[in-house]
């Protein structure tokens, strides 16, 4: 019954508003105040899911991963060590090597080299874990009593600042480089960063949460050139690799710092020592399903089609003189806005004359209102970023069901929305 329900959900997904349109507190108004005393039928529960839960969902799912997730929930293993379910540990070892090979991670990150991979819940957990490993690596050398000397680095920190820290007796510990930042998918220059880090013995973690998956194409692999100088690398397979949450893949070149002494001697991995939590689910199943069910060629095809669709949207934006692409589009996210054209700024000055907004704030406010109207349409869902004082609208493609026609619809929604917003400025309408 549930499988039919999910199948119907995906069949009808285009009928729902993309962004949930409910108001805060909507669910409390329709669900009972206390738990039921007696069992309820599956039909009744599913009716409530359809009527009350589905309207409160923003629809951006992908299909393949949940099949593995269903099995994982069905088995309900608690695979903290090898013996608790050998298949869970061993499949994770294998799948992490498969994925590592697919994105051409150096062998030093793989079990088939001297490294290894683990599936964590999220990137934040993975970073906390590697930070702990970096700390232990240094403290093993300098003694735990020196913990207060450790410093973290911001990317903006210059060589001279790092040298000054070292001269002052401090120990630079950890640097996190990002390949595909959350806001605008910017890419840090990995090789030079690793070169500097190496001089000071700094642990480099590469956060490729979103963009790491794109390295399955040869033409995108250059974004992680230099990774051989890093200590750890992570990507979220639940972001742009069709696995369901939670599926953050973390590799380390020297996982001994993720292990404890007891497990070092064993020929098996006890993943409880490679993560913050003790218990863990059978996460590798969903990744295994995704890789097997799509196959490498199809996965490349899907990701490439997302990139192509983003490029199409980028071209549509660039071809309309009222809009501009604000930040470079490296992957499948386009950051754009209505341009601050002099004729529009003149009108906005009048519109916001009592609000004491600078010109920059006026155009930002205009774009913020535009995004709100786009999302209220229920036909498309976009997000926003504010960077360097610029408010931009973010358009992303990345779901398995997205097709070119959806991109065209999304752009049409933008056009209709801007037309309505500009109708008071008739001279600006096409």
Which stretches of the chain bind ligand PLP, using CB under 6 A?
122-124, 178, 180-182, 207, 209-210, 236, 248
Written as six digits, the tokens of 41 are 């039928």
Name the minimum Å distance from CB 227 to ligand PLP: 15
C-beta of 310 vs 370, nearer to ligand PLP: 310
| Residue among 187 and 422 whose Cβ is closer to ligand PLP | 187
Beta carbon nearer to ligand PLP, 188 or 270: 188
d(CA 314, CA 335): 9
CB of 328 to ligand PLP, least distance (A): 16
Decide if 108 contacts 115 (C-beta within 8 A).
Answer: yes
Buried b / exposed e along 247-270 (16+ C-beta atoms within 10 A): bbbbbbbbbbbbbeeebeeeeebb
Give me the least distance between CB of 372 and ligand PLP, in Å please.
Answer: 22
**Other CB atoms within 10 Å distance of the CB of residue 135:** 17
Closest separation in Å from C-beta 250 to ligand PLP: 11
Partners of 206 in beta bridges: 177, 233
151 touches 173 (CB < 8 A): yes
Residue 122 CB, nearest distance to ligand PLP (Å)?
3
What is the spatial distance between Cα 162 and Cα 165, in angstroms, rounded to a whole number?
5
Minimum CB distance to ligand PLP smaller for 164 or for 276:
276
Find the residue with minimal CB distance to ligand PLP: 122
Query: CB-wise, 213 or 263, nearer to ligand PLP?
Result: 213
- CB of 339 or CB of 383, closer to ligand PLP: 383
- DSSP assigned state of 51: I
Q: CA separation (Å) from 294 to 3, 83, 211, 244, 248?
A: 20, 30, 19, 15, 19
Q: Rg (Cα) of the chain, in Å, rounded? A: 25
Q: Name the minimum Å distance from CB 180 to ligand PLP.
A: 6
Contact 290, 237 (CB under 8 A): yes
CB 107 within 8 A of CB 113: yes
Which residue, 210 or 323, has its beta carbon nearer to ligand PLP?
210
Least separation in angstroms between CB 216 and ligand PLP: 17
């Amino acid at each position: 019954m549930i499988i039919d329900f999910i199948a119907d959900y995906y069949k009808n997904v285009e009928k729902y508003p993309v962004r949930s349109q409910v108001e805060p507190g909507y669910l409390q108004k329709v669900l009972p105040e206390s738990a039921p005393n007696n069992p309820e039928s599956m039909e009744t529960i599913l009716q409530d899911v359809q009527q009350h839960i589905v309207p409160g969902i923003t629809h951006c799912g992908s299909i393949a991963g949940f099949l593995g997730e269903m099995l994982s929930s069905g088995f309900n293993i608690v695979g903290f060590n090898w013996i608790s379910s050998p298949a869970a540990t061993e499949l994770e070892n294998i799948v992490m090597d498969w994925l590592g090979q697919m994105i051409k991670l150096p062998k030093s990150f793989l079990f088939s080299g001297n490294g290894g991979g683990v599936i964590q819940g999220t990137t934040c957990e993975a970073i906390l874990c590697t930070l702990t490993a970096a700390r232990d690596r240094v403290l093993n050398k300098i003694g735990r009593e020196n913990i207060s000397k450790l410093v973290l680095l911001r990317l903006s920190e210059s060589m001279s600042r790092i040298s000054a820290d070292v001269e002052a007796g401090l120990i630079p510990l950890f640097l996190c480089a990002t390949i595909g930042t959350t806001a605008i998918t910017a890419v840090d220059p990995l090789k030079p960063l690793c070169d500097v880090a190496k001089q000071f013995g700094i642990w480099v973690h590469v956060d490729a949460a979103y963009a790491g998956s794109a390295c399955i194409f040869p033409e995108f692999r250059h974004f992680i050139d230099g990774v051989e100088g890093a200590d750890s690398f992570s990507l979220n397979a639940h972001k742009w690799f069709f696995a369901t949450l939670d599926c953050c893949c973390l590799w380390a070149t020297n996982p001994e710092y993720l292990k404890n002494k007891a497990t070092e001697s064993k020929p098996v991995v006890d993943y409880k020592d490679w993560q913050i939590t003790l218990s863990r689910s059978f996460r590798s199943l969903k990744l295994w399903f995704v890789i097997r069910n799509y196959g490498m060629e199809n996965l490349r095809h899907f990701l490439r089609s997302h990139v192509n669709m983003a490029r199409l949207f980028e071209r549509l934006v660039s071809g309309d003189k009222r809009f501009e692409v604000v930040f470079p589009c490296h992957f499948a996210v386009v950051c754009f806005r209505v341009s601050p054209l002099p004729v529009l700024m003149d009108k906005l000055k009048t519109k916001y004359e009592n609000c004491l907004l600078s010109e920059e704030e006026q155009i930002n406010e205009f774009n913020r209102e535009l995004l709100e109207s786009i999302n209220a349409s229920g036909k498309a869902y976009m997000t926003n970023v504010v960077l360097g004082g610029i408010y931009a609208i973010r358009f992303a493609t990345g779901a398995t069901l997205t097709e070119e026609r959806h991109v065209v619809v999304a752009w049409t929604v933008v056009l209709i929305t801007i037309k309505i917003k500009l109708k008071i400025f008739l001279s600006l309408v096409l």
